[in-house]
């Protein structure tokens, strides 16, 4: 047995695969069984995925012991190995779901074949009038019904009875308890009256008073419902499977002689070189070391257009190489890849619970005992009513059995347990396919309530890569000469503005000499000796403090160029290079969409006010907070949260690293551009593509998902609240109750699946 803290689970958390769960009461029992183990701090069960996430003290518990406790409660459980390959884990889950679906299908087919022909024969007998007093020529239907119902209870009902007995051993009850009791009441009542009639102890009961076929039929219908439910769950959870299917099973690894050899992708190691041919999928995260091609990243980032990848660019495993040859050096494998991190985040979000789900689980924990009490009261009530009105015992028992069976079957809380997790699975899965990673249910709830969105400028609205927009000469020197001298002085600087100057000079084909000296002046610029003259390149402050020159620097992002003849002379201003940070192509449309959602938009940046207001005007933002240092951004968020008479709910969209304090302070942090470092992002929601358009889409997705969760919970609650009284008053046949229960499960899952078709983006077709 593994010990706490070993390789099975080094961090005090584990994921367990759990079989046999069908309803909210099952969830409650599994959580109680796990929490009964000393050292277990928390357990969250995902009914739709058939898994449990546990957090525990490694000194007092381990996953194997927790799994054993859950298994003893009637739900076979096994721990998932730490570091398990996501594809393998998902394959096991899908195999488990497929096996479960096949098992329910087999039970349903056998049950229907045992029940439907005799049920039809029974109704034929009623129509021709042979249902009265069971005449000799009609006795066979009673015998055959007894035999077929017995086979049905043994084979079709075995799953329900074994689960009910396991719960009984744990001194508790579950949904299968209700089903087993309902079938047993119908079968037991019929057997007793049939046997008593044959023995002459009572007046032979009519066919109307025998419920053999109802006992067999309700098991068949419920099994059919579970099969449909299992199929629907597979469809609801298809997002992770589709993501994992992106990973190719084989890769072309290059040897030391640059010869390709087909190798299982799972065997690739960091620093391996792989050949990615046109039409191939990239086998692992890496960096391009040779070649150039268009790469389709739509299934990872949600962006429909391919992107150009060439030497030095990162590529994500699972993306599709379209038309060129690439050689990629592997940088991440296994659980460290972007695809694996996406799957892990989606699974985490799908396992989390909103407060309303926790309330539903608490209700489900006492729901089954309450239903058993209601069924008992129903039986007693019918007996008292029948006796008071002088009904024959057979009639009283018949009505009581019908009502009790209907109450037990119709009250099964399956839909209650599926209401939230199925909507979460579909919503988070669709988000993942669009490049929107939702970390947990709290992010969904917060996103739904957002009324103010704060946007960082650099890297969020703009590309974050400045370019030279214009060059103005101040002393008659040609603009290209100003650019050449500036590039010569700046070529050893790592500052983004310096790189932009050098890049433009090289694009213009200018001869850039090496400086004989180079000094970086932090926060100001650079001073270098170029071709025997001192060149100053930087801010207006640099020229004033080191060059003794006065220039106007309040017109946006500008780089000033000057030269100085000697120590005693003031610098001569040569020109000004105006810089621009290119706006992302879809930023204007995204901000317009946020306005259409009725949200207040604020631009928050550390850039100077002139540059910030210029960008804000272009994209349609009126509220600008400029020249704000990173450490002060969180204070601005706090101010916005408390600026109105009612508390505002503020979302902050930034790069996820530089804006970490503001992202943490905001009610909802949205990290833009997760790329291959998704696990390091600070946001509650991560937009892998880096597109601002993901912000309104994420808000729409959150609203749609929370709406489906509320609809499903309403459907589940109202179903039980209305159906139980109807059944108790004898207005519901047990077979109709069984069909309605199965239909409620499929209805809840089907309603959640409608999220797949919800329109989240105005640009969607």
Closest CA to 617 of 482, 505, 461: 461
Residue 378 pLDDT = 92
DSSP string computed for 436-497:
EEE--HHHHHHHHH--EEEEEIIIIIEEEEEEEEEEEESSS--HHHHHHHHHHHHTT---HH
Q: Which residues pair with 16 in a beta bridge?
A: 52, 79
- Phi, psi (5° rounding) for residue 515? -75, 145
d(CA 655, CA 635): 18
- 320: its two tokens: 């599709």
- Looking at the structure, tell me whether residues 333 and 403 fall in a common domain: no
- On whether both 339 and 379 belong to a single domain, the answer is no
Residue 679: predicted pLDDT: 46
The SS3 call for residue 194 is: helix
CA distance 505 to 289: 26
Q: What tokens does 708 get?
A: 């489906």
* CA atoms of 369 and 367, how far apart (whole Å): 6
Strand order in the sheet with 293-296: 307-309, 293-296, 320-321
Q: What secondary structure does DSSP assign to 543-566, as a single string? A: HHHHS-------SSSEEEEEEESS
Half-sphere exposure of 184 (CA within 13 A, CB side): 11
Same domain for 59 and 114: no
Judgement on whether residues 292 and 397 belong to the same structural domain of the protein: no
Q: Do 519 and 403 lie in a common domain? A: no
Alpha helix stretches (DSSP H) within 491-580: 496-507, 540-546
Domain check: are 285 and 215 in the same one? no
Instruction: Output the domain CATH number for residue 539.
Output: 3.40.1110.10
- Cα 536 to the center of its chain, rounded Å: 53
Residue 5 maps to a domain: no
Residue 525 forms part of a structural domain? yes
Domain co-membership, 570 together with 716: no
Mean pLDDT split into 10-residue runs, the chain, 765 residues: 37 82 77 91 82 89 92 86 61 75 89 83 64 53 83 90 81 78 83 77 59 80 80 66 76 91 90 93 92 84 76 88 92 82 72 63 70 90 90 80 84 73 84 82 84 88 84 90 94 85 92 91 84 88 70 68 76 87 86 93 85 88 86 87 77 74 86 58 76 90 90 82 86 79 81 85 52
Residues 116 and 216 placed together within one structural domain of the fold: yes
Query: pLDDT at position 89, please?
Result: 67
Contact status, residue 410 vs residue 727, Cβ threshold 8 Å:
yes
Give the Cα separation of 140 and 117 in Å (integer).
Answer: 14
Catalytic site positions: 456
* Structure tokens given for 416: 């209650």
726 inside domain: yes
Q: Assess contact for 527 and 550: CB atoms under 8 A.
A: no
Domain residue limits at 333: 244-346
User: In which order are the strands placed within the sheet that holds 533-538?
Assistant: 462-473, 572-583, 558-564, 533-538, 525-530, 517-521
C-alpha to C-alpha distances, 336 to 86, 330, 616, 676, nearest whole angstrom:
11, 12, 38, 9
* Number of separate domains in the chain: 4
Residue at 526 is within a domain: yes
Judgement on whether residues 105 and 228 belong to the same structural domain of the protein: yes
Which of these three, 535, 562, 582, is where a domain ends? 582
At residue 84, the pLDDT reads 57
Residues 377 and 229 in one domain: yes
Counted residue by residue, the chain has a size of 765
CATH number reported for the structural domain that contains residue 66 in this entry? 3.30.70.100
Of 148, 135, 155, 161, nearest in space to 212 by CA? 148
Residues 249 and 220 in one domain: no
Is 354 domain-assigned? no
- Cα–Cα distance for residue pair 577/486, rounded to 1 Å: 9
Element (H, E) at 16: strand 13-18
Rounded CA separation 395/405 (Å): 15
Question: Phi, psi at residue 468, to the nearest 5°?
Answer: -75, 125
DSSP helix/strand/coil, 708: helix
Pull the structure tokens for residue 668.
């909802």
Distance CA 755, CA 615 (A): 35
For residue 317, tell me if it sits in a domain: yes
Which pLDDT value is given to residue 2? 34
Which of 591, 613, 589, 609 lies closest to 600 in space, CA to CA?
A: 591
Do the strands 452-456 and 600-604 form a parallel or antiparallel pair, or are they unpaired? parallel
Residue 415 lies in a domain: yes
Instruction: Read off the CATH number of the domain in which 270 is found.
Output: 2.70.150.10
Write the CB contacts of 590 (distance below 8 Å, at least 6 apart in sequence): 691, 692, 693, 694, 695, 696
Considering the domain architecture, whether residues 386 and 535 belong to the same structural domain is answered as no
Tokens 């096996």 appear where? 99
Domain end call among 560, 582, 604:
582
Q: Tell me whether residue 298 is in a domain.
A: yes
Torsion sign across C-alpha atoms 740, 743, 745, 750: negative
What Rg do the C-alpha atoms of the chain give, in angstroms? Answer: 35
- How far is the C-alpha of 748 from the C-alpha of 195, rounded, in Å? 42
């Amino acid at each position: 047995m593994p010990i706490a803290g070993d390789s099975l689970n080094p961090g005090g958390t584990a994921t367990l695969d759990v079989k046999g769960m069908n309803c909210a009461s099952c969830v409650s029992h599994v959580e109680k069984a796990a929490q009964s183990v000393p050292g277990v701090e928390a357990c969250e069960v995902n009914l739709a995925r058939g898994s449990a996430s546990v957090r525990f003290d490694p000194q007092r518990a381990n996953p194997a012991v927790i799994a054993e406790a859950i298994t003893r409660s009637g739900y076979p459980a096994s721990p998932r190995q730490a570091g398990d390959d996501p594809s393998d884990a998902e394959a096991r889950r899908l195999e488990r779901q497929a096996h479960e679906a096949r098992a329910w299908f087999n039970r349903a087919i056998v049950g229907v074949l045992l029940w439907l022909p005799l049920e039809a024969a029974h109704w034929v007998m009623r129509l021709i009038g042979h249902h009265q007093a069971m005449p000799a020529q009609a006795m066979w239907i009673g015998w055959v019904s007894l035999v077929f119902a017995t086979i049905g209870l043994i084979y079709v009902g075995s799953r329900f009875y074994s689960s009910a007995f396991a719960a009984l051993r744990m001194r508790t009850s579950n949904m299968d308890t209700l089903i087993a009791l309902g079938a047993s009441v119908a079968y037991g009542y019929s057997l007793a009256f049939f046997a008593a009639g044959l023995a002459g102890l009572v007046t032979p009961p009519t066919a109307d008073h025998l419920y053999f076929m109802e006992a067999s039929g309700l098991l068949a219908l419920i099994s059919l419902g579970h099969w449909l439910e299992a199929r629907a769950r597979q469809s609801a959870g298809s997002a992770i499977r589709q993501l994992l299917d992106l990973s190719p099973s084989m890769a072309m690894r290059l040897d030391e002689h640059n010869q390709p050899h087909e190798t299982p992708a799972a065997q690739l190691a960091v620093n391996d070189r792989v050949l990615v041919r046109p039409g191939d999928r990239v086998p692992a995260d890496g960096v391009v070391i040779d070649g150039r091609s268009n790469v389709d990243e739509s299934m990872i980032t949600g962006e429909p257009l391919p992107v150009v990848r060439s030497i030095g660019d990162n590529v994500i495993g699972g993306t599709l190489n379209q038309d060129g040859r690439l050689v990629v050096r592997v940088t991440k494998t296994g659980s460290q890849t972007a695809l694996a991190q996406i799957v892990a985040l989606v699974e985490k979000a799908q396992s989390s619970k909103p407060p309303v789900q926790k309330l539903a689980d608490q209700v489900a924990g006492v729901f089954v005992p309450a239903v058993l009490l209601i069924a008992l009261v129903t039986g007693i009530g019918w007996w008292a009513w029948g006796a008071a009105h002088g009904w024959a015992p057979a009639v009283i028992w018949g009505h009581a059995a019908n009502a009790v069976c209907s109450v037990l079957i119709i009250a099964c809380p399956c839909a209650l347990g599926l209401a939230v997790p199925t909507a979460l699975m579909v919503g988070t899965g669709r988000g993942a396919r669009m490049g929107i990673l939702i970390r947990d249910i709290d992010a969904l709830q917060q996103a739904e309530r957002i009324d103010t969105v704060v946007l960082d400028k650099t890297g969020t609205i703009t590309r974050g890569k400045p370019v030279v927009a214009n060059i103005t000469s101040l002393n008659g020197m040609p603009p290209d000469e100003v650019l050449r001298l500036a590039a010569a002085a700046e070529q050893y600087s790592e500052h983004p503005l310096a790189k932009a100057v050098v890049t433009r000079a090289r694009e213009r084909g200018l001869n850039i000499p090496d400086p004989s000296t180079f000094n970086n002046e932090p926060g100001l610029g650079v001073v270098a000796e170029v071709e025997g003259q001192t060149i100053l390149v930087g801010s207006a402050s640099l020229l004033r403090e080191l060059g003794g020159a006065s220039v106007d620097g309040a017109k946006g992002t500008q780089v000033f160029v000057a030269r100085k003849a000697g120590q005693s002379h003031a610098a001569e201003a040569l020109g000004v290079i105006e810089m621009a940070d290119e706006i992302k192509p879809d930023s204007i449309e995204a901000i317009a969409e946020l306005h259409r959602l009725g949200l207040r938009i604020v631009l928050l940046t550390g850039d100077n006010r002139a540059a910030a207001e210029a960008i804000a005007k272009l994209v349609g933002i009126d509220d600008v907070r400029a020249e704000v240092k990173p450490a002060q951004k969180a204070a601005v968020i706090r101010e916005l949260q408390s600026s109105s008479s009612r508390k505002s709910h503020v979302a902050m969209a930034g790069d996820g690293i530089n804006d970490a304090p503001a992202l943490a302070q905001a009610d909802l942090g949205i990290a833009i551009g997760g790329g291959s470092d998704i696990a390091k992002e600070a946001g509650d929601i991560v937009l892998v593509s880096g597109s601002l358009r993901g912000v309104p889409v994420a808000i729409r997705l959150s609203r749609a998902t929370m709406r489906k969760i509320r609809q499903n919970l309403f459907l589940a609650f109202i179903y039980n609240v209305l159906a139980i009284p109807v059944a108790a008053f004898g207005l519901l046949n047990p077979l109709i109750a069984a069909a309605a229960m199965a239909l409620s499960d499929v209805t809840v899952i089907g309603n959640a699946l409608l999220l797949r078709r919800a329109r989240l983006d105005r640009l969607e077709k």
